[in-house]
Amino acid sequence: MQIRNTRQRWGAAAQLLHWSIAAAVLVMLGLGWWAESLGYSKLKVDLFWVHKSLGMLVLAAMTLRLLWRLTNPAPALPGGLKAWERGAAHVTHYGLYVLLLAMPLSGWVINSAANFPLSVFGWFEVPAIVGPDDDLKSLASDVHGVLAWTIVGVLVLHVAAALKHHFVLRDDVLRRMLPGVRLRGSDGEI
Ligand code: HEM
Ligand code: HEM
């Protein structure tokens, strides 16, 4: 399989980034809500340590993904879609890019404004992006919570659309994001 995208399908790099970020984001949502639900304890501190570390890796992966996307044209959407369906696909995809960059950035602001140190899995330290500031910390915290639910809402639409393409429209939209899956299209490219 090619590293770069072709006109028919996503390349290996885009697929790897899509599925690893998708898995990390689901873990991150679970970790965030679980850790928030706990009273002060060592487990809570440890969960947030993993949450912040993994979240900063999501930020790095999303930045890489955005650069890759900007330099690598996406495969064309299948023909026959209505104008609103094309519009909805673009809005949800661009929306997910914005949300998945804003989510870790707002977390980084909470941590910096709270004046906590930030180390990614103990491998390296990340500097603060803002100075200590209680008002900014609670604003960023509210933003972080609202963004989490917005991501869940957009993902429900995203996954429903992917499944509709696969099972109802029976086109290649899901297949071309899966490694090693033969396309149904006439070119038969793998
Ligand atoms: C946290 C979970 C997920 C996130 C954050 C996410 C994010 C994204 C984004 C941003 C794109 C646009 C790619 C681009 O234009 O560069 C995309 C494409 C895609 N996603 Fe997801 N996704 C997630 C989960 C899923 C799941 C569970 C499925 C399948 C059921 C799926 C199926 C697809 C497909 C098929 C495409 C390609 C659409 C096309 O070819 O036009 N995604 N995803
Ligand atoms: C994709 C990335 C991220 C996702 C999906 C995510 C998700 C969440 C969720 C669902 C919560 C619980 C919210 C609530 O109950 O109101 C939360 C809380 C929190 N997250 Fe994240 N997070 C991400 C990245 C980060 C990063 C990078 C940091 C810090 C460097 C961070 C720091 C925090 C903190 C400190 C809280 C505690 C609650 C607060 O003060 O609002 N998060 N996160």
| Residue 51 located in a structural domain | yes
Provide the domain limits for residue 143: 12-177
| Residue 143 located in a structural domain | yes
In the chain, % of residues over pLDDT 90: 93
Which residue is closest in CA terms to ligand 1's atom 17?
Answer: 93
- Quote the number of domains for the chain: 1
- Residue 79 pLDDT: 87
pLDDT at 169 over 80: yes
Span 143-164, average pLDDT:
98
With a Cβ cut-off of 6 Å, ligand 2 is lined by 25, 28-29, 32-33, 36, 51-52, 55-56, 58, 100, 103-104, 107-108, 110-111, 118, 141, 144-145, 148
| Residue 48 located in a structural domain | yes
What Rg do the C-alpha atoms of the chain give, in angstroms? 19
| Residue 152 located in a structural domain | yes
| Residue 4 located in a structural domain | no
C-alpha span between 169 and 187 (Å, rounded): 18
Sequential DSSP letters for 77-116: PPTT--HHHHHHHHHHHHHHHHHHHHHHHHHHHHHHHTT-
Question: Structure tokens of 37?
Answer: 């639900």
Which residue is closest in CA terms to ligand 2's atom 9?
Answer: 32
pLDDT at 190 over 70: no
pLDDT digits (tens, 9 = 90+) for 13-35: 999 999 999 999 999 999 999 99
12 and 3 in contact (C-beta within 8 Å)?
Answer: yes
181 and 175 in contact (C-beta within 8 Å)?
Answer: yes
| Residue 5 located in a structural domain | no
C-alpha span between 46 and 53 (Å, rounded): 11
Which residue is closest in CA terms to ligand 1's atom 39?
Answer: 173
Among 21, 33, 51, residue to substitute to test ligand 2 (most atoms within 8 Å of Cβ) = 51
With a Cβ cut-off of 6 Å, ligand 1 is lined by 18, 21-22, 25-26, 69, 74-75, 77, 89, 93, 96-97, 100, 155, 158-159, 162-163, 173-174, 176-177
175 and 183 in contact (C-beta within 8 Å)?
Answer: yes
Mean pLDDT of the chain: 95
| Residue 187 located in a structural domain | no
pLDDT digits (tens, 9 = 90+) for 27-66: 999 999 999 999 999 999 999 999 999 999 999 999 999 9
- Residue 184 pLDDT: 85
- CATH number, residue 74: 1.20.950.20
Which residue is closest in CA terms to ligand 2's atom 26?
Answer: 107
- Residue 188 pLDDT: 38
pLDDT digits (tens, 9 = 90+) for 107-135: 999 999 999 999 999 999 999 999 999 99
- Residue 132 pLDDT: 98
- Residue 67 pLDDT: 97
| Residue 55 located in a structural domain | yes
How far away, in angstroms, is 144 Cα from ligand 1 center?
A: 22
pLDDT at 186 over 50: no
pLDDT digits (tens, 9 = 90+) for 72-90: 999 999 888 999 999 999 9
